[in-house]
Amino acid sequence: MSLHRYRLPAALLVAGLLPSAALANDWPAPIAALQAQGMTIHGEFEALGGMTGYAGSYQGHELAAYLLPDGEHVIVGTLQDADGNDLSRPMLDEVIRGEEDSESLAMLEQSAWIAEGNGERIVYVFTDPYCPYCQRLFHEARPWVEAGEVQLRHVMVGLMDRDSPRTAISMLAADDPSAALLAHLRGEETPRLESLPRDLEEALFDNHQLMESFGLMATPSMVYQGERGLQMAHGLPEEDELAAIFGAPRP
């Protein structure tokens, strides 16, 4: 996401003066006033000087609001220390990025995917049936998957070959989608449906849209929970990157 500085209109800077009828019930009155004027409040964080910080956004720009200890007034802007360091940006990143990550994970969980393995660490992989690098990733990931450390969730797409969509949908429609996918990745031919279920055609299209929303252009592309929140990896990773993605060195 591109981050920008933004100066709020003066009306928002005197939010404590709004009549109580305009306030929401979820936040302290001055913060609810900001919300009533169009500022989205994503969450709160601890701030210096007895203040409580709130991470917000307004017209696509991220903003920090600081509720004064009296609970009746709010300041919107950037908090800096004596050296001029921006103390607001890390908190905005943490709160807003956390919310965005939760939304992204929810969309991935609801997508049409096929599981490989049953490990606690979950890695989503956008997979095309005819992507040679997807097959190479399958073999590279075997130690982690077979050790029970990782579950790969293959979000199926059909981009590389004319038969990719039909094959992907045929796997999703199989009695045992995991077995169908594993057989295909091992080089076996996948029985393809002649008539494709409409709901799975729509699910595959949604997977394509989801992949595009992440800014991913090629397979395999992985989305996983890293030390700094949700992370993405493109193509076939090197050994050290595989260890970071799967959360441990090669078993």
- Domain 111-246 CATH (choose: 3.40.190.10, 3.40.30.10, 3.30.420.10, 3.40.50.300): 3.40.30.10
**H or E element in which residue 243 lies:** helix 239-246
Whether 6 has a pLDDT exceeding 50, the answer reads: no
Give the CA-trace dihedral at 174, 176, 179, 185, to 10 degrees: 30
The pair of three-digit structure tokens given for residue 127, joined into one six-digit string? 């997979």
Give the CA-trace dihedral at 116, 249, 120, 170, to 10 degrees: -10
User: Once rounded to an integer, what is the mean pLDDT over residues 69-75?
Assistant: 93
Whether 60 has a pLDDT exceeding 60, the answer reads: yes
- Tell me the pLDDT tens digit for each residue of 135-169: 999 999 999 999 999 999 999 999 999 999 999 99
The pTM of the full predicted model, rounded to 2 decimals, is: 0.69
- Tell me the pLDDT tens digit for each residue of 79-125: 998 899 998 888 887 777 777 778 888 999 999 999 999 999 999 99
Write down the domain spans for the chain.
Answer: 10-95, 111-246
Per-residue pLDDT at 156: 97
Of the given ranges (12-16, 132-136, 219-223), which has the lowest mean pLDDT?
A: 12-16
Q: How confident is the model at residue 10 (pLDDT cuts 50, 70, 90)?
A: very low
Q: Residue 78: which residues within 8 A CB-CB, separation 6 or more?
A: 5, 64, 86, 87, 88, 89
Per-residue pLDDT at 230: 85
- Domain 10-95 CATH (choose: 2.40.10.10, 3.30.360.10, 3.30.365.10, 3.10.450.70): 3.10.450.70
